[in-house]
């Protein structure tokens, strides 16, 4: 079954290259960026005083 994954990936890539399938990653990129920003804003900074010295 593990050999099916690379075959599917190769076929999927060909469909994208032929323009049959279009993948729009902008909404996903924006969602990931927003989640990372939230994570960094609420994350406590440990050892900030020791790094400065």
pLDDT of residue 14: 94
Residue 47 pLDDT more than 70?
no
What is residue 20's predicted lDDT score, i.e. its pLDDT?
Answer: 95
Between 18 and 51, whose confidence is greater? 18
Give the number of residues written for the chain: 53
* Residue ranges covered by each domain of the chain: 23-53
Structure tokens at 29: 């990129």
d(CA 48, CA 53): 9
Give per-residue pLDDT as tens, 21-45: 998 889 989 999 999 999 888 877 6
């Amino acid at each position: 079954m593990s050999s099916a994954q690379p075959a599917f990936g190769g076929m999927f890539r060909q469909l994208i290259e032929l323009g049959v399938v279009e993948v729009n990653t902008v909404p996903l990129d924006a969602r990931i960026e927003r989640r990372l920003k939230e994570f960094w804003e609420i994350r406590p900074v440990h050892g900030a005083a020791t790094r400065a010295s």
